[in-house]
Structure 1
Amino acid sequence: MQISGSGPIYDAETLEARPYRLPAGNVYETRFSEDGSHMAFNLGDSRRTSDIWILDLETGESRQLTHSHQGVPAEEMVEPELIRFTSFDGLSVPAFIYRPKEIKQGMKVPVVINIHGGPVEQYQPVYQPVMQYLVYSGYAVIAPNVRGSSGYGKSYTALDDVEKRLDSVKDIIALRGYIASISDMDTTKIALYGGSYGGFMVLACMAFYPRLWAAGVDIVGIVNFVTFLENTASYRRAHREAEYGSLENDRELLEKISPIHSIEKIEAPLLVIHGANDPRVPFSEAEQVVARLEEVGRHVELLVYPDEGHGITKLRNRLDAYSRTVEFLDRALA
């Protein structure tokens, strides 16, 4: 549920709607008390960390339970703009655009397309510290909810299943075309950034459409769906095969959509970041990328964190990885 300021809550038995006035911001991750008298929820927005609130459903009064620390003042953050662009097949795809606070007249800024993982996830206008850091560093950031994302209905979520996998990649290509219509963005300096499934999207875009990008950042991404499914934790395999296709029935398709078989076509510099203990997307995926690109003489850099798994979670590693990511982008897009 995403509400800004007010909205109805429905009685599950009577379907009666009752309007409530809520604090300004975006409401999500709701939980109801066992007796149905209260609702707990997270409240935040794109410039502030989220906090837990509780709503009394009888009186309509809300009160804040937690007060999260935020080191950077909200005034230093930017609000994203929600836009929609048209993909190759006419599909309307939503995206959030984060712009640097001050763009001088006639200036064009470099762009980072930030692709979420999942793929059944979605970007929302909530606090995104990495995107805010990239914006503070001088980059416009575009966060699309390509086909396969959640939050837009079951049909939208299923638009990238199995044999439709690369249609989501085409959404990013369409977004790149849309960027050309934005006067303050530099189409010669567009980088890709993504983690997990988003990392696959980065690698697929760079391998299958190599001349469109100035740089890429792949974080714990999939490069070979066959080896990924063979080596991922067994408890996840069946779940992932339902989304991507099975080793038994769809191996040929899995080979076709895997960027590893076109990885040598990548032209732009690539930064690969991975946790050595990743049980979901094993480190062997990153090793394949780096080995193949080094073999053909491409510019590839590797950051490995021995004490990380699927993603970068420890504060010291985040501070290191994200600052080195910006340094990499600054060099690549100079």
Structure 2
Amino acid sequence: MRLPLALLATIFTTVALPASTLMAQTPAETIQPNENLVIEGIPAIPQTVAQQVARYTQFRSASLSTWHPIKREMLISTRFADVAQVHQVQSPLGARQQLTFYPERIRGASFQPTEGKYFVFSKDAGGNEFAQNYRYDRATGDVTLLTDGVSKNSRGVWSSQGDRMVYSSTRRTGKDNDFYIIDPQDPTSNRLLAQNQGGGWWAMDWSPDDQQILALEYVSINESYLWTIDVASGEKTLITPKDQSPTVYYGGGIFSRDGQGLYVMTDQDSEFQRLAYYDLSTQKYTYLTSEIPWGVENFDLSHDGKYLAFTTNEDGASVLRVLDTATQKEIPLPQLPVGLVFRINWHRNSQDLGFTLISAKSTADVYSINIKTQQIDRWTKSETGGLNTDAFSDAEVVRWKSFDQKTISGFLYRPAQKFTGKRPVIINIHGGPEGQARPYFLGRLNYYLNELGAAMIFPNVRGSVGYGKTFMTLDNGYKREDSVKDIGALLDWIATQPDLDQDRILVTGGSYGGYMSLAVATKYSDRIKAAIDIVGISNFVTFLERTEDYRRDLRRVEYGDERDPKMREFLTKISPTTNAKDITVPLFVVHGKNDPRVPLNEAEQMVKTVRKNGVPVWYLMAKDEGHGFSKKRNADYQFYATVQFIQEYLLK
């Protein structure tokens, strides 16, 4: 749906006021930041901005959390007010009944798996990611804390009998993820099962007889190991060798229903993750998806053990598949829209497969497929602010050659057809680095396409997942700046496109994408107009020294060990703070005070350093957020300010 011409005229005149005029606005005419926001250098933002972008801030989404084990109903996560909470849906497109009411978002929920009389959910405080587990009793609505209230805890995995959960926690040392077992109906039953070294340990599954637990030891995106743990003694047994070269990555594992083997995702002898059956007695693999030339990214085994549901990442899009475990053949499924499929989850009836689906033209919603009848049911239909999303831009795959002739790809979203001539470009770089731009719903970012006439490119520079394990290693250690050069090559490619304006380019990104934005601004300030850094790394040494203890060793594998003098010198040399004198374009820095991954200091030191260059520097900090803004009122102000920044420094 297009906005009226009169309103469009208002957007392109009122919003684009110079900073000096904006500062003259009276408080009643400007947007007042809430008490948790700290702003520096951001001019007063007219109320008209909020009015003009209002519908683009009203998108909702929903994702599947858990099926009820007996009834054909589910718990989902969606937001009605400020943050996502747990809701119950009793039938397809049924009413969404909110069950939790907290000022902080709920990070997932799972029903007790045999009766469903209660569920366990996780919640942190202020985005600090130190999640605590709680039991919610359906009959009374009572909520009981299950963890220590201090440490970082995973939500945990249910036993086969549904009487216990195993979860990981940092409570012993603050950095090691140990395993604990608890009966959620009796919080005093909590006990330490096994001590671990490092922050990369996760429980995956229980054996059918509940005597063994399958655990994953994560070292890096290219290296992990599977262990079994004896529930009675806590003794750990390594089941995948540590002397392999190259190293092998296991993305997950589930016990077969007879307990004789495991279904695993692994890149053993392959560039991509494949599904395999691992026989525990013979230690032999049977590969199940070798004929598919793409990586498996998620899977779930039906309760009766007859079906494996999984998704493959095919050039960024998800393809949902179901395998018959007896015949090892795929079962035909109805075709789904091109997009992303995640949180696949079998109902205990082994017929209904639930999942969350999102596409470029559709916000995330919950669906299910009955594999017997082939019927697709839609369980939620999230609001889109009254906008017709069918008219939104599709994601278009684009490719370009980098400095070393390697092919780099990304997704291009073109602006609405009403805009003519060369269009300004916003380059949005994903985090990770082990992330991937996918053809997902852009939400409020569609405002830039539909109303501001900017094109958006989401690149997958080297180091991104989805293109093989070799590609993922091409930015490791001393090769870090090669990914920045991939963006330099993208700037070259933009210059060859007749409908894109090489003289009006803005670079933005979050987390590692924030580092990339800063790095691009130091290397290519003469080729871009502005940069936005959201919770980004500004100095690799200070980042590694100050990130939370449980993450530090995991990040050293990717970036390098700052304790080594040679590596420390290199990391210092390439850090944006070291090269900040070369940033000659306006910069907008956004951060959360409670960020456990990229500490607030990374933003503060960058702002302080770049201000010495005499260029405009906008700074927005939220006292009640962590690694990105999750509360709607904070995200809305960030959006208003970003629209103003784009108007002022990209579109003029």
Task: Using structure 2 for the length normalisation, give the TM-score.
Answer: 0.49
For residues 50 and 42 of structure 1, the distance between their equivalents in structure 2, rounded to whole angstroms, comes to 6
**Equivalent residues in 2 for 1:229-268, closer than 5 Å:** 229-249=544-564, 250-268=567-585
- Shifted more, 116-125 versus 31-40: the winner is 31-40
What's the CA shift for 1:19? 2.1
Q: Does 1:10 align with 2:339?
A: no
What's the counterpart of residue 51 of structure 1?
Answer: 365
Deviations along 1:163-205, one digit per CA (max 9) or x if unpaired, are 1111111111111100011111111110101111000000011
Question: Is it true that 1:100 corresponds to 2:415 in the alignment?
Answer: yes
* Residues matched between the structures, number: 333
- Which residues of structure 2 form unaligned runs of 5+? 1-310
Residues of 1 paired with 2:484 and 2:319: CA distance? 36
Give distance in 2, aligned partners of 1:27 and 1:124. 8
Instruction: Indicate whether 1:222 and 2:537 are aligned.
Output: yes
Deviations 1:221-240 (Å, cap 9, x if unpaired)? Answer: 10100000111111111111
Aligned to 2:44: none
Q: In structure 2, the residue corresponding to 1:251 is in which secondary structure?
A: helix
**Which residue type is aligned with residue 139 of structure 1?**
A
Partner of 2:433 in structure 1? 119
Match of 1:306 in 2: 623
Instruction: Give matches, 1:87-166, under 5 Å.
Output: 87-105=402-420, 107-136=421-450, 137-166=452-481
1:47 touches 1:77 (CA, 8 Å); kept in 2? Answer: yes
Distance 1:11 1:257, change over 3 A: farther
SS of the residue corresponding to residue 163 of structure 1 reads helix
Residue matched to 1:22 = 335
Q: Out of 594, 597, 610, which is 1:277 matched to?
A: 594
Question: 1:6–1:20: 8 Å Cα contact kept in structure 2?
Answer: no
In 1, distance between residues paired with 2:417 and 2:595?
39
CA distance, structure 2, for counterparts of residue 70 and residue 330 of structure 1 = 24
Question: In 2, distance between residues paired with 1:175 and 1:309?
Answer: 31
Q: CA deviation at 1:151?
A: 1.5
Where does residue 505 of structure 2 map in the other structure?
A: 190
Runs of 4+ in 1 over 4 A off after TM superposition: 2-8
Distance in 2 (CA, whole Å) between partners of 1:12 and 1:302 is: 54
Q: Which region of structure 1 is more displaced relative to structure 2, 63-72 or 168-177?
A: 63-72
Q: In the aligned structure 1, how far is the partner of 2:546 from the partner of 2:373?
A: 53
The RMSD of aligned alpha carbons is 2.0
Structure 1 distance, partners of 2:599, 2:319, is 44
Q: For residues 274-295 of structure 1, what are the alpha-carbon distances to aligned partners after superposition, in whole Å with 9 as ceiling and x for unaligned?
A: 1122121111111111111122
Q: CA offsets per residue over residues 34-79 of structure 1, 9 Å max, x none?
A: 6753422212210111111112223322211222222132134221
Give the CA deviation at 1:9: 2.8
Secondary structure (helix, strand or coil) at the match of 2:577 reads helix
Is contact 2:320-2:341 (8 Å) kept? no
> Partner letter of residue 609 of structure 2?
R
Code of the residue aligned with 1:128 in structure 2: it is L
Please identify which structure carries the higher strand content: 2
CA pair 284-181 structure 1, distance change in 2 beyond 3 A: same
CA contact (8 A) 1:131 1:141 kept: no
Q: Which amino acid aligns with 2:380?
A: T
* Cα separation, partners in 2 of 1:14 and 1:104, compared to 1, 3 Å: same
1:316 partnered with 2:630: no
Do 1:5 and 1:22's aligned partners in 2 also have CA atoms closer than 8 Å? no
3-state SS in 2 of match to 1:272: strand
Structure showing greater Rg:
2
The reply to whether residue 70 of structure 1 matches residue 387 of structure 2 is no
How far apart in 2 are the matches of 1:316 and 1:32? Answer: 32
Structure 2 residue matching 1:148: 3-state secondary structure: coil
Kept in 1: contact 2:318–2:338 (CA 8 A)? yes
Partners of 1:84 and 1:12 in 2: how far apart?
A: 38
C-alpha distance in 2 between matches for 1:104 and 1:213 = 21
Tell whether the 8 Å contact from 1:111 to 1:141 is kept in structure 2 after alignment.
yes
Paired position in structure 2 for 1:325: 642
Is the partner of 1:97 in helix, strand or coil?
A: strand
Unaligned runs of 5+ in 1: none
Q: Classify the secondary structure of the residue corresponding to 1:183.
A: coil
Paired-residue identity, %:
40
Kindly indicate which of the two structures has a greater share of residues assigned to helix: 1
1:83–1:97 Cα contact (<8 Å) kept: yes
- Give the AA of the match of 2:413: Y
Task: Mark the CA change 1:6 to 1:146 in structure 2 (over 3 Å): closer, same or farther.
Answer: closer
The 8 Å contact of residues 222 and 228 in structure 1, kept in 2 or not, is answered as yes
Verify the 8 A CA contact 2:318 2:341 in the aligned structure 1: no
**CA shift at 1:248, angstroms?**
2.0
Q: Indicate conservation of the 8 Å contact 2:512/2:537, yes or no.
A: yes
- Give the C-alpha shift of residue 15 in structure 1: 2.8
The 8 Å contact of residues 6 and 22 in structure 1, kept in 2 or not, is answered as no
Q: SS at the partner of 2:474? A: helix
